[in-house]
């Protein structure tokens, strides 16, 4: 049997261990990405009698890729430039 324990820290309210044998690794990652799981203290993978700390691995998998802002807005910049040109043509 394999399952994950996700320990979440709520600050002064305390901590909560979320344990659900039906939640897969992919589901844990999906919940981190969707921000359902926040302020994670640790994530342990329980397999038979072995406990493995997989916090760094899962958080790395859940991390969204960093997109440099200059690459992300190239199309928007072209549209803004075209709009500005049209504005100046009218005046």
Q: List the domain boundaries for the chain.
A: 2-66
pLDDT average, residue stretch 12-40? 92
Distance (Å, rounded) from C-alpha 62 to C-alpha 64?
Answer: 6
The closest of 52, 46, 56 to 23, measured between CA atoms, is 46
Tell me the percentage of the chain whose pLDDT exceeds 70.
Answer: 79
pLDDT band at 65 (very low <50, low <70, confident <90, very high): low
- Cα dihedral 29, 35, 41, 42, rounded to 10, equals -10
Q: How confident is the model at residue 70 (pLDDT cuts 50, 70, 90)?
A: low
Instruction: Tell me the C-alpha to C-alpha distance, in Å, between residue 39 and each of 2, 52, 64, 72, 82.
Output: 23, 19, 17, 28, 44
Grade residue 16 by pLDDT with cuts at 50, 70 and 90: very high
Please tell me the predicted confidence (pLDDT) of residue 71: 54
């Amino acid at each position: 049997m394999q399952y994950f324990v996700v320990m979440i820290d709520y600050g002064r309210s305390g901590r909560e261990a979320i344990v659900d044998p039906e939640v897969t690794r992919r589901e844990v990652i999906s919940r981190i990405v969707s921000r359902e799981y926040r302020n994670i203290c640790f994530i342990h993978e329980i397999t038979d009698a072995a406990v493995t700390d997989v916090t760094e691995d899962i958080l790395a998998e859940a991390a969204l890729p960093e997109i440099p802002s200059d690459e992300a807005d190239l199309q928007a910049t072209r549209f803004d430039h075209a709009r500005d040109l049209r504005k100046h043509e009218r005046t």
